Structure 1
Amino acid sequence: MRVVYLSPDIQEAIAFESEFGSGIEIKHFDNPKLFLRSLEKGDRYDLIINAATPGSPLGINLLRTIKEKFASDTPVIWLANTPVPPSLQRMLMAAGISDIFYQNPDKEKLTTRINYLVRANKMDANSRPNSVFAYKYPLGKRVFDIVVASTALICLSPILLMITLLIKLESKGPAFYYSYRVGTGFKIFKFWKFRSMRQDADQMLDSIKVLNQYQSSAGKLEENIFSICANCEKESTECINKLIDEQGQIICEHQYIESKKNKVGPAFIKIANDPRVTRFGLFLRNTSIDELPQLYNVLRGDMSIVGNRPLPIYEAEKITTDEYAARFIAPAGITGLWQVSKRGKKNMSEEERKALDIEYAQKFSLRKDLYILLKTVPAMFQKENV
């Protein structure tokens, strides 16, 4: 696996290679012209890591040039020293960034991401060695997807037109909605749906996260945060590695790390009785009719008819930090094992959903896909408003 490290600081590049260079080839560039010249010569890379500042010669403009001039699908990881505001995140994504990590606190996440890409690169070496995103569907599955998607679009075209008109009549805004989703091999693509929410739904998300169906146990240990940590208590000693937290209180380093982990919210977000949903949108969601535009994604090859649901970027980023990253090895799909097994049930935990995704990734087949499709129709007409 060949990795490019873009940074004006050669010592930083040397430190990165020392830490992550095992089993991969890392090439450092501190000059954008030299990097562009390398690409013009035909050099191919499996991953680009950018540790420069956004406005520098190695920053956003260089990434835009690579994307436009070379039509590169090479994943790009942005390494930041400070929190990246949402406006800059959108600019980075538009320029071709796949992931954003912070150099110090996200070191474990970055290691997981690189290790996954190394594995994906090895798995894909026999088909398309120059792309870690390449995923070769079984021929039968791809033919099945094209036949089903094209037939469904032709037969349903009058209904799709009627739905489009009803959405436009009920509320202002476009009838179709897309968001960026992460699919097979962490590939990011435009994910299409009928709009079932208000136009400002994305801006309202932070204010309603308390209604999330996938609530974690985060924060339950908050009241014990300043007691002696479990490691030191086991050794019957006082905490040695002490830190001062944001409130100015002394805590153990081990305890501080655990508290930070506990503050991380659940990976999935699904709102029961979502106040952002329109009246007609509620019908579309409860019958899953809002998913029909994804047949276009299937024809494009972004998705399959059956597979694991592609995730929003903020959800996918959390899944990459642990053993559940395996769910991204499976095809991304319109319907899947999770939908027909547990969809909408309030007692479904986040761990159960992840386990179902991994089960499909490990055992998917055309026969299993047909079984899931047969169970999809009754699952579409659910009672829960989620």
Structure 2
Amino acid sequence: MILIRLESKGPIFYYSYRVGMGYKIFKFYKFRSMHTDADQMVEQLKHLNQYANDEAQTIKTKPLTRSIIAYSNHDHILVKDDELFEESEYEQFKALEDKKAFVKINNDPRITRVGKFIRNTSIDELPQLFNILIGDMSLVGNRPLPLYEAEKLTTDKTVGRFLAPAGLTGLWQVTERGKAGMSAESRCDLDIEYALKHNFWMDMKILFKTPLAALQHENV
């Protein structure tokens, strides 16, 4: 706590609104590991998001004008907010947006030096014990998501992750955390698997694996 205060201006504790089980929104507490304007920088750094597929980023979907449609053979046209899109291109565009549902930035410039240490050792997560005590979270579950991530996971394929309690640790953390190349789709699949299969013994196994998983080497 002293080191956090000495290195950068701002509060020792940080909270943000997160979405847990059943889309319940609550204040989520951590030790502050970033500069105080970190949330405002998300939009500026979205091009560094590791979950965004590089190939998908080449998709350029633009609205079609009525004159173009009149002189072409577009059989499947979608209308959205008074704009017209060719169906296959629009589906590609939506696939790109889904890949950006989670945000993971390698060597994130928003993180302080002390913040890097407490994140790599998961010390920054300790204040969430308060969330557990007041009933917002469980020890084991799916990670509660920031609002800007949760609002993109409302489709039939992804909504199942919110059937599980919000957790301090979970299946994704003990199997894939810190591994390079993990897609947003794979992470969501693990969340849904936990939501459908979790039980006491599964939770105990996850808790047993958590101490090793808590140590990571990526600066994210």
| Fold similarity call, TM over 0.5 | yes
Matches within 5 A, 1:76-95: none
Are the structure 2 counterparts of residues 218 and 375 from structure 1 closer, same or farther at C-alpha, using a change threshold of 3 Å?
A: same
Query: What's the secondary structure of 1:197's corresponding residue?
Result: coil
Moved more, 312-321 or 287-296: 312-321
Give me the CA root mean square deviation. 2.6
Superimposed CA distance per residue, residues 163-221 of structure 1 (whole angstroms, 9 cap, x where no aligned partner): x2221111111000000000000000000000000011111111111111211353434
Cα separation, partners in 2 of 1:253 and 1:211, compared to 1, 3 Å: closer
What residue is the counterpart of 1:365 in the other structure?
A: 199
Equivalent runs, 1:277-356 vs 2, <5 Å: 277-356=111-190
- Report the equivalent of 1:187: 24
Question: For the Cα contact (< 8 Å) 1:225–1:255, is it kept in 2?
Answer: no
* Contact 1:213/1:346 (<8 A) preserved: no
The one-letter code sitting in structure 1 at the alignment partner of 2:87 is: H
How many residues align? The count is 209
Query: What is the CA-CA distance between 1:262 and the residue it aligns to?
Result: 4.8
Q: What residue number does 1:100 align with?
A: none
Matches within 5 A, 1:40-189: 164-189=1-26
For residue 281 of structure 1, report the CA deviation from its aligned partner. 0.5
**Inter-partner Cα distance in structure 2 for 1:241 and 1:380:** 49
Q: Distance in 1 between matches of 2:28 and 2:77?
A: 47
* Aligned-partner SS, 2:106: coil
Q: Is the 8 A contact 1:239 1:252 kept in 2?
A: no
Give secondary structure in 1 for the equivalent of 2:10.
coil
Using the aligned pairs only, state the percent identity.
Answer: 59
Report if aligned partners of 2:139, 2:169 keep a CA contact under 8 Å in 1.
yes
1:238 partnered with 2:76: no
Aligned residues of 2:62 and 2:85 also touching (Cα < 8 A): no
Deviations 1:138-173 (A, max 9, x none): xxxxxxxxxxxxxxxxxxxxxxxxxx2221111111
1:291 partner amino acid:
E
Q: Per-residue deviation at 1:263?
A: 5.5
* Alignment counterpart, residue 44 of structure 2, candidates 192, 207, 213: 207
2:69 alignment partner in structure 1? none
Supply the distance in 1 between the matched residues of 2:108 and 2:85 (Cα, whole angstroms).
Answer: 40
CA distance in structure 1 between the partners assigned to 2:63 and 2:149 by the alignment: 27
Would the aligned equivalents of 2:122 and 2:214 in 1 still touch at CA under 8 Å?
A: yes
Shift of 1:240: 4.6
Task: Show CA shifts across 1:93-136 (max 9, x none).
Answer: xxxxxxxxxxxxxxxxxxxxxxxxxxxxxxxxxxxxxxxxxxxx
Structure 1 residues 326 and 281: alpha-carbon distance in aligned structure 2, compared to 1, 3 A threshold: same
- Deviation digits for residues 295-352 of structure 1, max 9, x if unmatched? 0000010000010000011111111123110110111100000001000211111111
2:60 match: 222
Distance 1:177 1:211 in 2: 23
SS of match in other structure, 1:323: coil
Listed as ranges, the gaps of 5+ residues in structure 2 are 65-71
The secondary structure found in structure 1 opposite 2:216 is coil
Larger relative contact order (Cα-Cα within 8 Å, sequence gap ≥ 6): 2
Other structure's SS at 1:334 match: strand
Distance 2:163 2:12 in 1: 32
Q: Does the CA contact (< 8 Å) of 2:52 and 2:96 recur in 1?
A: no
Unaligned runs of 5+ residues in structure 1 are 1-163, 227-236, 245-250
Larger helix proportion of the pair? 1
Distance (Å, rounded) in 2 between the aligned partners of 1:383 and 1:358: 26
Whether the 8 Å contact between 1:225 and 1:259 is mirrored in structure 2 is no
Structure of higher CA gyration radius: 1
Distance 1:315 1:223 in 2: 22
- Give the counterpart letter for 1:239 in structure 2: H
CA drift at 1:270: 1.2
CA shift, 1:284, in A, is 0.4
The aligned amino acid for 2:48 is: L
Q: Please tell me the residue identity of whatever aligns with 1:201.
A: A
Equivalent residue in structure 1 for 2:211, among 352, 377, 385: 377
